[in-house]
Amino acid sequence: MSTVDLDTNKIKDWRSIVTLIIFVITNVIVLFPFHIPIYVPRTLLNSFLDTLSHLRLIPPREDNYQHDHQDGRSGKVTRFVKLNFPLNFVTAPLMADIFLLAILAIGRKEVHDGTVGANSINPIDIMVFFITLAYIAISIDASGLIRYLAFKVLQKGGKVGHRLFFFLYAFFFCLGTFIGNDPIILSGTAFLAYLTRVSSNIIHPRAWIFTQFAIANIASAILVSSNPTNLVLAGAFGVKFIEYTANMIVPVVVTAIVLFPFLLYIVFADEALIPLSIKMHELSDEAKKKKPVNPNIPNAKGNTGEEQENDLAENKQLSLEEIMNPFVDKKGAAFGAVLMAATLITVLALNAVSQSNGEHPVFWVTLPAAFVMFVWEVSLGWINRHETREIARKGRHEVELARAERAIREEQEANQIILEHEQRELKTTSGAPMTLTQLPEEVEMKILKDEDGVLIDSSRAPTLLVSENIDGQNRGLSNHTDSSILTPIPRDDNLQNSRSSTSALSTLDEKKEPILTDSTTPPNGTSTPPTDPIKRIASERLSQQIELHKHDRTTLVSLLKDAYLWSQETFPTVTAVVAHLPFALVPFAFSMFVLVQALVTKGWVPVFAYGWDHWVNKTGTVGAIGGMGFLSCILCNFAGTNIGTTILLSRTIQTWQQIHAHNHLPISNRTFWGTVYAMALGVNYGAFSTAFSASLAGLLWRDILARKHIHVRRLDFARVNLPIVAISMAVGCAVLVGQILHDKYVNKSTHPSVLGAAPRSTPFIFLHRPSTTSLQNLSIISNPIHAHTIMQHLSLTTPPQRSPLHGKVHPPPNTQRKERKLR
C-alpha cells in the first residue's frame, strides 16, 4: 500500500486549485449534461465526407444534405455546419483528465494509480469482475426468466391491489439481492409500465415504478457483487465478501421491512395509485393460445410491433400479451440460474480463504463463467438459427409493408382533399352534380424514375364519372355502365406536390382501370375485391425498393450494419445481452479514478480527511455513522454518481487511517467500521435520492420509461424520492448504530483490524483482520515503545484532541503520563 502525502500546503498551488475546480465542473456536467455546438466550414466537412465515401467507408453524401443545415431565418445554405458535441457522464470526466494532463496537473503516476490501481483499489479487476458477472445476470434476464417470474407473482397476487403491491415488492427485493439492480431495472421497469397501462383504474404508475427503483437499489447493498460501488469499497478496505454480507444484511432487511408500510400508507396513500382492487383487461383465448415469440429477435412481433405506437388499443393489447403470455427460454434460464448460483458461491468461498492462500482476483471466477454462458448461448443460437432467421424475415417484411401502406394512406389523404376541392369547383362551374365512382385510394398514380434517378410523375389525370342529371338520364346510366360518360378532369399542378415525402420507398409501375358504379352491386356492399389495393401497391413498392438496394455500393458502414443484423437474427440472445452490457461504466469509472487520484496528490483529499477527523472527534461513533451516511448519500448527486462518491470517500477514509498511523493514534473498531458500512448504505441508497445521475441505474431507468411513453421529470424524481431515501437512511443508520453499540453483536476476539485502528473487538459478527501490506505499513508496530503505547490505548475511552486541518495530534493527559513512566 502506497502512502499518501499528508502535506496540506499543496492546495495553495495554482494547479491544485485548478484541479479542484475541474473536478467540481465535471460533476456538475454529469448532473446536467448538454451539447456544445461546434461550427465547421461546410466545404471542409463536405470534403471530409467525400473522402470517406471514396474510401468506401460511408455511403455517398446525399445531394439534399445541405438542406439539413440551412439558416433558420433566411432558409439559405450557410457557410458553416453546426455539429453538437455531447458532454455527459462519459465524455466530461475524460475531457477533464485530458485537460489536467495538458496543464501538467497530473502525470503518469496519477494515470497509473487511477487505472491499474493503488491503495488496495484495483479498477481493472473491479471492472472485469462487474462486466463479466453482469453478462451472466443480463443473460438470465434475456432468457425471459424475470418476466416469467413476475407473471407468476402477478397470478399469485391476483387483482387485490395491496397484496399485489407487496408481492412485487418482495419479489424485486429477493431477486435484486442475488443478481443486482441492473437486470431488475431492465425487465422490471418494462413489466410495470405494461402492468399499469393495461389496468383501467391505475391512474398513474408513480407508486409502482418508484417503489421498484428504490427496492432494487436497497437490495443491491447486501452482496458485494450486486453493485460496483460495493466492489470498490470492499477492495479499498480489504473486506471479505462474506463478512460484508453478514454485516450489511440486517440493516438492509430491516430497512425493507419498515419501508413497505411507509410507502403503502403514507407516500402512496392514494387509491388512484394503488387501488384496492385492480381492474385489468382480459386476454382473449386466441391470444392465450398464441405461442410467445422471443423479443430478442428483431421485428419478432412484425406489424403488431410497428403499429403499436400509432394505435392505442393495439398498444394495450400488445402490453397485455407481454404480461400474460410471456416468452421464456427454459433451457437458457435454468442454465443461467445454476451458473449464477455456482459463480457466486465460488466467489464467496475463494474470497473467504484468500487470506491464508494469498489474494486472488475474483474475476478469475467470473470471467470463465461468463465465457461458459457465452458459449452456451452461441451454441443454442446456431442450433436454432433457421427458425430465428425465418421469424425475423417475416417480421421485417410485415414491418416494411406496414410502413409502405402508411405512406400510401398519407398520399391518399392528400389526394382526397384535392379531389374534393376539384369537385366543389366543378359543381359551382357547371351546376351539375357529380358522382365520384372511383375510390380515392384507386386514383391512378404512377411514379417513375428517369435515368438520372430523379422522381417524375407520369400519372394520368384522375378519371371521374360525371353523370348529368337531365331528364332521368342518371338512372339509365347507372343501369348501363358501358354507356357511361367518362369525362377526364384536368388535375391541378398542386396535385403533384401533394405526395407525402415518406412515400419515396420505390417506384410504382402499375396502371389501374377506373371503377364505375354498377346497380347490380349488392346494396349491402358485401362484395370485396380479392386483394387490397393498398397492400398490392405497397408490396410492389417494397419489391422495387429491395431491387434498388441490391445495386447500392457496399461500404464499411453497410457491412457493419448487415453483420449486426445477421448476428441479431442468428444469435438473438447474445446480441441482446452484449447490447445491454454497461460498457459506458468502464471509461466513466477509469476517468473518475484518475480525477480522484489527482485530488489525492494535490493535497485536497488530506484536507477532506482532516475535516472528517475533526467531525468524528466532536461527535464520536454515532456521529461518524450518521455523518458518513448523510454525506455519502448527498454526494451521490454531486460527485459523479455513487461510483464517483465511493471512490472519493474511500480515498478520504484511507487518508484518515494514515493520519492516525502517522501520529501513532488508533481508531476504534466501532468508529472505523461504522464509518465504512455507513458509507456502504449511503452510496447504495443514494441512487434513489434527488437526481437521475446519482447512479447509472437511474439513467437507465429513465430511458426505459421514456421508451414506454412514461416521462419522469427531474423535479418529480426528487420530490417523490426524498421521503423514501430519508426514511431508508434513517432506519438503516439506526440499525447500524444498534449493531455496533449492542454487546450482542460484539466478537470478543482482539486483533489489530485496520491501518491506524486500535485492536479492539470488532462490533460485528465477523472479524476484520489486516492484510499483510497493511501491517507492513504500520511503522508503529516495529517500535516497542509505540506498540506498548497502543496497548495502553485499549482501556482508553477519551478521544484524542486534534486540530482540524493539521497533522499534530494531542493525546489525552493520562496517555502522556503513562508514556513518560514508560520512558
DSSP 802: E
Biggest CA–CA distance in the chain, Å, is 136
In a domain, 365, yes or no: no
Bridge partners for 447 per DSSP: 457, 508
Going from the C-alpha of 111 to that of each of 116, 122, 128, 218, the distances in angstroms are 8, 13, 18, 33
DSSP string, 686-731: GGGSS-GGGSHHHHHHHHHHHHTT----HHHHHHHHHHHHHHHHHH
Whether residue 180 contacts residue 227, with contact meaning beta carbons closer than 8 Å, is answered with: yes
Amino acid present at 717: F
Domain assignment present for residue 397? The answer is no
| H helix or E strand, kind and range, residue 305 | helix 303-307
CA pseudo-torsion sign 168, 170, 174, 176: positive
Q: 485-491: long-range contacts at Cβ-Cβ below 8 A with a sequence spacing of 24 or more?
A: 486/514, 488/460, 488/461, 488/463, 489/422, 489/426, 489/461, 489/462, 489/463, 489/464, 490/461, 491/418, 491/422, 491/461, 491/462
Report if residue 54 sits inside a domain. Answer: no
Torsion of CA 776, 782, 785, 788, to 10 degrees: 60
Of 319, 335, 357, the domain-final residue: 357
> 172: which 3 cell numbers?
424485486
Residue with cell 499518501: 4
* 174 belongs to a structural domain: yes
* Domain end call among 549, 572, 604: 549
One domain, residues 634 and 772: yes
Residues 609 and 543 in one domain: no
Distance CA 818, CA 823 (A): 9
CB hemisphere CA count around 741 (13 angstroms):
11
Same domain as 271, residue 153:
yes
- The alpha carbon of residue 161 and the mean position of all alpha carbons in its chain are separated, in whole angstroms, by 28
The residue assigned the cell 466501532 is: 670
pLDDT of residue 435: 52
**Same domain assignment for residues 494 and 621:** no
Phi, psi at 199, each rounded to 5°: -90, 135
Distance CA(692)–CA(31), nearest Å, equals: 8
Which residue type does 142 have? A
Q: Model confidence over 168-210: pLDDT tens digits?
A: 999 999 988 888 888 888 888 888 887 887 777 788 889 999 9
End-to-end CA distance of the chain: 31
Total domains, the chain:
3
Same domain, residue pair 601 and 484: no
Q: What is the pLDDT of residue 582?
A: 83
User: Would 605 be classed as within a structural domain?
Assistant: yes
Say yes or no: 349 and 462 in one domain: no
- Helix/strand number for the chain, H first, E second: 31, 8
263 DSSP 8-state letter: I
Q: Are 17 and 83 in contact (CB under 8 A)?
A: no
Q: Which of 147, 207, 208 is nearest to 175 (CA)?
A: 147
| 545 lies in the same domain as 599 | no
Buried b (16+ CB within 10 A) or exposed e, 233-257: bbbbbbbbbbbbbebbebbbbbbbe
Between CA 340 and CA 345 the distance in angstroms is 9
Distances (CA, A) of 72 to 77, 78, 79, 296: 9, 10, 13, 41
CB 705 within 8 A of CB 209: yes
Q: Residue 663 gets which letter from DSSP?
A: T
Please list the ranges in the chain whose pLDDT falls under 70: 1-5, 62-75, 283, 302-319, 354-359, 428-551, 743-823
Location of C-alpha cell 503513562? 818
612 plus 486 within the same structural domain: no
Q: Are 419 and 444 in contact (CB under 8 A)?
A: no
Unique residue bearing C-alpha cell 412481433:
301
List Cα–Cα distances, 131 to 125, 578, 614, 769, in angstroms.
10, 10, 39, 29
The CA dihedral of 327, 328, 329, 333, to the nearest 10 degrees, is 150
Any domain includes 613: yes
Alpha-carbon distance values, 138 to 358, 486, 574 (Å): 31, 66, 10
Contact (Cβ atoms closer than 8 angstroms) between residue 308 and residue 318: yes
Alpha helix segments (H runs only) across 581-695: 585-601, 604-635, 641-662, 669-685
| 681 and 746 part of one domain | yes
Indicate the length of the chain as a whole number: 823
Residue listed under C-alpha cell 360518360: 485
Q: DSSP labels for 500-520?
A: -GGGTTS-B----PPPPP-TT
Q: How far apart are CA 293 and CA 276, in angstroms?
A: 33
Q: Are residues 461 and 335 in the same domain?
A: no
Q: How far apart are CA 815 and CA 802, in angstroms?
A: 14
Contact (Cβ atoms closer than 8 angstroms) between residue 339 and residue 346: no
Q: Rounded to an integer, what distance in angstroms lies between the CA atom of residue 731 and that of residue 686?
A: 14
Same domain, 604 and 689: yes
Cell of 189: 421497469
Per-residue pLDDT, 748: 35
Residue ranges making up the domain that contains 744: 595-822
* Amino acid at the residue 250: V
Q: How far is it, in rounded angstroms, from Cα 764 to Cα 639? A: 30
- Dihedral, CA atoms, 514, 515, 517, 522, nearest 10 degrees? 180
Q: What is the DSSP string of 448-501?
A: EE-TT--EEE-PPPPEEE----STTHHHHHHH-GGG--EEE-PPPGGGGGGS-G
Domain final residue, candidates 309, 330, 357:
357
Q: Considering the domain boundaries, does residue 20 fall inside one?
A: no
Same domain, 636 and 758: yes
